[in-house]
Amino acid sequence: MLEKEVIDFEKSIIVGIITQNQSEDKLNEYLDELEFLTFTAGGTVVKRFSQKMDKPNPKTFVGTGKLEEIKYFIKDNDIKTVIFDDELTPSQSKNITKELDCKVLDRTNLILDIFAQRAETSYARTQVELAQCQYLLPRLTGMWTHLERQKGGIGMRGPGETEIETDRRIVRDRISLLKDKIKVIDKQMATQRSNRGAMVRVALVGYTNVGKSTLMNAVGKSDVFVENKLFATLDTTVRKTVIKNLPFLLSDTVGFIRKLPTQLVESFKSTLDEV
């Protein structure tokens, strides 16, 4: 069983840059975290690549020489996935994919992927899907302009544009539907909160995987899911707890991470507001 799991892990490499705002030590911390994210999402990190630069290359994130080095490594080592520590722009992602010819992800993809895997309640699923749609929307156009430029205008122009517009409209409609759905649930939750009255409330807040749920289980005698991976908890759990005759409401919440995708901050805003 264990052997099979090891074999199934997707061979990946991770890439980050050292800049004036991000020292080598800082980058190593971020890459440690990115490696843990990769493991949580079902991958194994074979090698880390880093480059010192003033600012990311607008076309390829790293320099062209570094990208070539990565390309050879991928070929020689049968790498399936390359993961960048910062969110790539739609055009960077497109250019890099074309050059490396393998799956190209960034930190945001990875976190969204883990959240999608973890979301259990309809509220969490809705929040995650909203974040995914918002990440996807600006990238839809990128996909089509890329095809148009590569294959020339003839035959691509009409259908291509129609298809972008159709796809974008579908995604935009979905976004407004999901936002409405979240609003409805928020209202229900606000009502539940006011019904709980003036009870003292305690929230466990902190970095992901520090042991919030473990503490919740110990103190609140609850049975929240605990695991040595990132983002085991997405949904807030509230338990009525009594310590030394003082009753209070204890809540366990989603954990924090550095470079949290802005799309997720927006869609989990009400969860964070509650905290």
Ligand X SMILES: Nc1nc2c(ncn2[C@@H]2O[C@H](COP(=O)(O)OP(=O)(O)OP(=O)(O)O)[C@@H](O)[C@H]2O)c(=O)[nH]1
Amino acid at 28: N
Contact map string, positions 207 to 226, toward Mg ion, x by CB under 5 A: -----xx-------------
What span, in angstroms and rounded, lies between the C-alpha atoms of 95 and 141?
14
What the block records as the tokens of 263 is 């799309």
Query: DSSP class of residue 251?
Result: E
Does the protein bind Mg ion through residue 112 (CB under 5 A)? Answer: no
DSSP characters over 167-188: HHHHHHHHHHHHHHHHHHHHHH
Q: Which does 214 bind (CB under 5 to 8 A by kind): ligand X, Mg ion, none?
A: ligand X
In whole angstroms, the minimum distance from the beta carbon of 207 to Mg ion comes to 11
DSSP H helical ranges for 79-238:
90-100, 107-118, 122-151, 157-195, 212-220
Amino acid at 234: L
Of residues 92 through 111, those in contact with ligand X by CB under 6 A are none
Of residues 205 through 264, those in contact with ligand X by CB under 6 A are 208-214, 226-228, 230-233, 255
In whole angstroms, the minimum distance from the beta carbon of 207 to ligand X comes to 7
Binding footprint of ligand X, residue count (CB under 6 A): 15
What span, in angstroms and rounded, lies between the C-alpha atoms of 61 and 231?
27
268 Cβ neighbours under 8 A, 6+ residues apart? 127, 131, 254
Q: Which does 142 bind (CB under 5 to 8 A by kind): ligand X, Mg ion, none?
A: none
Binding footprint of Mg ion, residue count (CB under 5 A): 4
Binding interface with ligand X (CB under 6 A)? 208-214, 226-228, 230-233, 255
Applying CB under 5 A, the residues found at the interface with Mg ion are 212-213, 232-233
